[in-house]
Amino acid sequence: MSEEKTIFKRIIDGEIPADIIFEDEQCLAFKDVHPQAPVHVLVIPRKEIPSIAHLSDEDGSLMGHLLLVVRDLARQLGLDDGYRVVINTGENGGQTVDHLHVHLLGERYLGWPPG
Ligand code: AMP
């Protein structure tokens, strides 16, 4: 892992602002700065994990927690017609920030396959 803080670690540390809509002891959820849908939220663990490829077996409950937070946020945001949950991983996965993050996208129809 690079010594330099990622932009998401800087958000966790309060060094740069974000539109935070939820936080607890394990994670933070904030609005994506370049939304790809009317609702576009990122849920990130406070723990510095670069990507899914870097998960340890002990991170299983943390990952489950992130998905339960996504479920609750989707309900709160009224995404009753469905939504998409995405975790881009590595170069071919289109990951641009090396701090694991879960995208929650909704309030429009999302085509498949993705680009
Ligand atoms: P990914 O391409 O999966 O790594 O997603 C990174 C996401 O982080 C992109 O959708 C960016 O728009 C978003 N992003 C980058 N910097 C910020 C920031 N400072 N605040 C909120 N979202 C950001």
Instruction: Kindly list the structural domains of the chain, giving each domain's residue range(s) and its CATH number in brackets, ordered by start.
Output: 7-106 (3.30.428.10)
* 101 pLDDT more than 60: yes
Q: What is the pTM of this model?
A: 0.97
Assess whether the previous peptide bond of 113 is cis (omega < 30° from 0): yes
Does the beta carbon of 94 lie inside 6 Å of ligand 1?
yes
CA distance 29 to 43: 4
Instruction: Please state the rounded mean pLDDT for residues 14-32.
Output: 98
Q: Which residue has the tokens 């990952």?
A: 63
Ligand 1 probe mutation, 33, 87, 100, 102, most atoms within 8 A of CB: 33
Q: Which atom of ligand 1 is nearest to the CA of 86?
A: 3
Which of these, 29, 3, 4, lies nearest to 18 by C-alpha position? 29
Residue 54: active-site member: no
Instruction: Please return the burial class of 66, using the count of CB atoms within 10 Å of its CB with bins 0-12, 13-18 and 19+.
Output: buried
CA distance 62 to 38: 27
From the CB of residue 40, how many other CB atoms can be counted at a distance below 10 Å?
17
* 1 pLDDT more than 70: no
pLDDT of residue 7: 98
Identify the band that residue 2 occupies on the pLDDT scale cut at 50, 70 and 90. Answer: low
